[in-house]
């Protein structure tokens, strides 16, 4: 299941830092990585997994860096990729941003972290809050206050240390729902999906025991309260602090939360909802002369809610010129680097309809390059509203010291992957 070695490369393929975990492969093999990548790029090919002889490279890209795991065994690929992403997360917690410079500037810490997060190809502790308790950048004297491995590292509760203290105990919850939508060019909804996530910011002392109550349909069915408005969660994923077997048994979400910010859970619903913002568009291209675009945007949610920062991106050919716009509300911008028009509407109340017209010139010599038909994409956020109707019914907080703690909940719905194909 193991990675023999992990490398961090710059964009040219030069090794910035590496760690040989198993010592069973020639570290120079990584020199083959970039040439293979270049060859694939020439063939317009791409794969997150490349092979050279007996060496397999599993890579991800972050900013101007490649993180590459090398193995010669039948490694657990899912584990390797998710570990690489976890590494990025850890480094970001330590250095704010992970890029070439932060690696150089902190190479001693990077080495230390690489030593700690994986051993002989087996991922170990990757919780950055816990790591920060014993891997710091200060040189420690061993006799006085040298860090010891926090018990947390090996505890069953490996995400929260003991002895945390706050004057005021509070929990902030954000319920964020993203709407993914795919609409065909003929206007029929191909896919509509809600991906929700509940984020926590925990400011609590000690080892609090939390229980979260949602209007979960399955739970209500078990407890026989079927009348209330409920939500059917198709698939739920939890932070590792949540007791999964408890949830499996009686749908109770109980946990000892990590300190600070974390994502407690995410869920997915396939219930088809009316697309919150509906777009109708006509894009007419008159070769060698002009492109005319008509876009109608309609908000299909209740009028007491308002969508903020709505941005509608309409694709245009890459060689257009002299843009002209007319809108019933908001403003338009031509973004040549994205070959798109961006129509911004600061505030879009429910049940309204707005229009936008755009006119572009086209050069008389047509570009030979074929262009894909890109979809219209929409960004928006609607505060105080969840499209699924999910509600936090309660959050019980019990700590043995018996303090009172206040939970705060915010709801927001936003656009996820919101695409409407064009003709």
Partner 1 sequence: MEWANQLCENRQFGSKMTDSKYFTTTKKGEIFELKAELNSDKKEKKKEAVKKVIASMTVGKDVSALFPDVVNCMQTDNLELKKLVYLYLMNYAKSQPDMAIMAVNTFVKDCEDANPLIRALAVRTMGCIRVDKITEYLCEPLRKCLKDEDPYVRKTAAVCVAKLHDINAQLVEDQGFLDTLKDLISDSNPMVVANAVAALSEIAESHPNSNLLDLNPQSINKLLTALNECTEWGQIFILDCLANYTPRDDRESQSICERVTPRLSHANSAVVLSAVKVLMKFMEMLPKDLDYYSTLLKKLAPPLVTLLSAEPELQYVALRNINLIVQKRPEILKHEMKVFFVKYNDPIYVKLEKLDIMIRLASQANIAQVLAELKEYATEVDVDFVRKAVRAIGRCAIKVEQSAERCVSTLLDLIQTKVNYVVQEAIVVIKDIFRKYPNKYESVIATLCENLDSLDEPEARAAMIWIVGEYAERIDNADELLESFLEGFHDESTQVQLQLLTAIVKLFLKKPTETQELVQQVLSLATQDSDNPDLRDRGYIYWRLLSTDPVAAKEVVLAEKPLISEETDLIEPTLLEELICHIGTLASVYHKPPSAFVEGSRGVMHKRLPARTGSGESTESPDVGTAAGGSAPEAAPSIIPSQGDLLGDLLNLDMAPPTTSGPPPPTTGMQMGGMDLLGGGLDSLLGGDIGGSPAMGAGFGAAPAVMPASLNAPVGGGLGDLFDLGGVGMPMGAYIPPKIVWLPAMKAKGLEISGTFARRAGVIQMELILTNKAMSVMTDFAIQFNRNSFGLAPAGPLQVLTPLGPNQTIEVSLPLSTVGPVMKMDPLNNLQVAVKNNIDVFYFSCQYPISMLFVEDGKMERQVFLATWKDIPNDNESQFQIKDCHLNSDAASSKLQGSNIFTIAKRTVEGQDMLYMSIKLSNGIWVLAELRVQAGNPNYTMTTIRRSGSSLKMLTFFTCAACTLTSLCCCCMDLMLSQYNT
Query: Considering only residues 59-88, where is the footprint of partner 1 by CB under 8 A?
Result: 59-60, 71-79, 81-83, 85
Nearer to partner 1, 140 or 393 (CB): 140
CA 299 to CA 87: how far, in whole Å?
Answer: 41
Torsion of CA 85, 88, 94, 95, to 10 degrees: -160
Question: Which 3 state secondary structure label does DSSP give 104?
Answer: helix
236 lies in the binding site for partner 1 (CB under 8 A) = yes
Give whichever of 166 and 238 is closer to partner 1, judged by the CB atom: 238
Cβ(276)–Cβ(379) below 8 Å: no
Interacting residue with partner 1 among 11, 26, 147, 383 (CB under 8 A): 147
166 binds partner 1 (CB under 8 A): no
Outline where DSSP puts E strands in 256-305: 260-269, 277-286, 290-299
Residue nearer to partner 1 on the CB measure, 133 or 352 = 133
404 touches partner 1 (CB under 8 A): no
Given the rule CB under 8 A, which of 214-222, 370-378, 379-387, 394-402 is the region that contacts partner 1? 370-378
**Chosen residue from 41, 97, 284, 353 binding partner 1 by CB under 8 A:** 97
- The length of the chain, given as a count of residues: 423
Q: Is position 102 an interface residue for partner 1 (rule: CB under 8 A)? A: yes
Least CB distance to partner 1 at residue 352 (A): 27
Q: Contact at 8 Å (CB) between 393 and 215? A: yes
- Per CB under 8 A, does 234 bind partner 1? yes
If one asks whether residue 366 binds partner 1 (CB under 8 A), the answer comes out as no
- Contact between 138 and partner 1 by CB under 8 A: the answer reads yes
- Give the single-character DSSP code of 152: G
- Taking the complex as a whole, the smallest distance from the CB of residue 56 to partner 1 amounts, in Å, to 6
User: Judged by CB under 8 A, does residue 368 bind partner 1?
Assistant: no
Which range, of 105-113, 161-169, 296-304, 404-412, touches partner 1 by CB under 8 A? 105-113
How many residues form the binding site for partner 1 (CB under 8 A)?
110
What character string, x for contact with partner 1 (CB under 8 A) and - otherwise, covers 5-44? ----------xxx--xxxxx-------------------x
Contact call for residue 165 and partner 1 (CB under 8 A): no
Q: Which helix (H) or strand (E) holds 118?
A: strand 118-119
Q: How far is CA 322 from the centre of its chain?
A: 37
356 Cα distance to chain centroid: 31
Q: List the interface residues with partner 1, window 313-342 (CB under 8 A).
A: none
Task: Please list, in sequence order, all residues whose beta carbon lies within 8 angstroms of the beta carbon of residue 344, skipping any fewer than 6 positions away.
Answer: 309, 310, 311, 330, 331, 332, 333
What is the per-residue binding string for partner 1 in 251-290, x denoting contact by CB under 8 A? Answer: ------------x-xx-x----------------------
Q: Which of 12, 42, 141, 400 binds partner 1 (CB under 8 A)?
A: 141
Contact by Cβ (8 Å): 374, 139:
no
247 near partner 1, rule: CB under 8 A:
yes
Nearest to 124 by CA among 284, 256, 3, 264: 3
Closest CA to 87 of 108, 59, 46: 59
For 287-299, the three-class secondary structure string (H helix, E strand, C coil) is CCCEEEEEEEEEE
Our finding on whether 195 is near partner 1 (CB under 8 A) is yes
**Angstrom distance (rounded) from CA 151 to CA 162:** 9
Nearer to partner 1, 105 or 353 (CB): 105
**Closest distance of CB 172 from partner 1, Å:** 20
Degrees, nearest 5: CA angle 411-416-422: 140
User: By three-state DSSP, how is residue 318 classified?
Assistant: coil
Cβ partners under 8 Å of residue 275, min gap 6: 179, 181, 183, 189, 192, 300
Half-sphere exposure of 107 (CA within 13 A, CB side): 10
Considering only 32, 217, 243, 285, the residue that binds partner 1 (CB under 8 A) is: 243
- Pick between residue 74 and residue 287 the one whose CB is nearest to partner 1: 74
Which span (160-168, 188-196, 301-309, 356-364) binds partner 1, by CB under 8 A?
Answer: 188-196
Give the residue, chosen from 11, 26, 39, 104, that forms a contact with partner 1 under the rule CB under 8 A. Answer: 104
- Shortest separation between residue 283's beta carbon and partner 1, angstroms: 15
- Shortest separation between residue 267's beta carbon and partner 1, angstroms: 9
């Amino acid at each position: 299941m193991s990675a023999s070695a992990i490398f961090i490369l710059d964009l040219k393929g030069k090794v910035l830092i590496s760690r040989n975990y198993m010592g069973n492969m020639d570290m120079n093999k990584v020199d083959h990585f970039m040439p293979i990548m270049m060859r694939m790029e020439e063939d317009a090919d791409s794969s997150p997994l490349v092979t050279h002889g007996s060496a397999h490279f599993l890579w991800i890209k972050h900013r101007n860096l490649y993180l590459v795991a090398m193995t010669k065994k039948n490694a657990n690929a899912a584990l390797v990729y998710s570990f690489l992403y976890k590494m990025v997360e850890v480094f970001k917690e330590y250095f704010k941003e992970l890029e070439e410079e932060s690696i150089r500037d902190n190479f001693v810490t990077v080495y230390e972290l690489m030593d700690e997060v994986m051993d002989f190809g087996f991922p170990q502790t990757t919780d950055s809050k816990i790591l920060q308790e014993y891997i710091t950048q200060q040189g420690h004297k061993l006799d006085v206050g040298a860090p010891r491995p926090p018990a947390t590292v090996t505890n069953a509760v490996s995400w929260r240390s003991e002895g945390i203290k706050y004057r005021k105990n509070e929990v902030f919850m954000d319920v964020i729902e993203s709407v993914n939508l795919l609409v065909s060019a003929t206007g029929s909804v191909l896919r509509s999906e809600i991906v929700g996530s509940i984020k926590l910011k925990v400011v609590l002392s000690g080892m609090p025991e939390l229980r979260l109550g949602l209007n979960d349909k399955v739970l209500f069915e078990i407890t026989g309260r079927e009348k209330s408005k409920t939500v059917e969660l198709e698939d739920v994923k939890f932070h590792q602090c949540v007791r999964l077997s408890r949830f499996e048994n009686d749908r109770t979400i109980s946990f000892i939360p990590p300190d600070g910010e974390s994502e407690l859970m995410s869920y997915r619903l396939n219930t088809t909802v009316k697309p919150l913002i509906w777009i109708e568009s006509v894009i007419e291209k008159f070769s060698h002369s002009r492109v005319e675009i008509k876009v109608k945007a309609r908000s299909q949610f209740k009028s007491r809610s308002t969508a903020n920062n709505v941005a509608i991106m309409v694709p245009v050919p890459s060689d257009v010129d002299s843009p002209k716009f007319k809108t019933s509300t908001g403003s338009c911008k031509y973004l040549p680097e994205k070959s798109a028009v961006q129509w911004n509407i600061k505030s879009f109340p429910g049940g309204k309809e707005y229009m936008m017209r755009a006119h572009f010139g086209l050069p008389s010599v047509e570009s030979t390059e074929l262009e894909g038909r890109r979809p219209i994409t929409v960004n928006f956020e609607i505060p105080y509203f969840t499209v699924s109707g999910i509600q936090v019914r309660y959050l019980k907080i019990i700590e043995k010291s018996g303090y009172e703690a206040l939970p705060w909940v915010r709801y927001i719905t936003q656009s996820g992957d919101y695409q409407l194909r064009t003709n």
